Amino acid sequence: MKQSAEQKDDAPKVDGSGIPKKTLVCSLMENGDVYYNIQGGSAEEAISSFAKVLRLPKSVDRTALKNALIEREGLGTTAIGEGFAIPHSRKQEAASEESAIMAIGYLDTPLDWGAPDGKPVTTLFLILSAGVQHHLSALSGIACLIGKKEFRSFMAKRPSKKELVEYLKNLPC
């Protein structure tokens, strides 16, 4: 049955497994954490600092993760504009969807990250995903959130994990 345009617009955005993107991003945040005052004078230094403090699933090797993040950043910036970057590995880092996480890192000083809009990065979203579709859906969900002015204003307040999870849970689909 063909959906009308009105029905289609109101439908929750879903990933390849049928999980609404809002639910996926919220779940990743519930499994992850928020980190403040990430230091570094460059994207590589900030990624290294972030990797050092992350609480990681047991299956993830910290040094290998740091190297994979820096390698990916070397292929092209992960800054997406409006003060945000989404550093991520090109390979599966989490053993399963249940162990996948998202970590937020607030930089102590804004950094030139080569963003398309030229704005310095202040906030990092790090995704440790459990597969390609899971990863792409998480990236898409985060990019969608960052595209919303109200979300960017909320993130400018540097919310805690608890505040961020509550915000995500209360978003309309």
Alpha-carbon Rg for the chain in angstroms: 16
CA distances (Å), origin 156, targets 16, 73, 120: 31, 24, 13
Would you please indicate which residues are annotated as catalytic (active-site) residues? 88
Q: Which residues contact 158 (CB under 8 A, 6 or more apart)?
A: 36, 106
Q: For residues 173 and 127, what is the distance between their CA atoms, to the nearest angstrom?
A: 21
CA distances (Å), origin 60, targets 49, 140, 152, 160: 16, 23, 30, 24
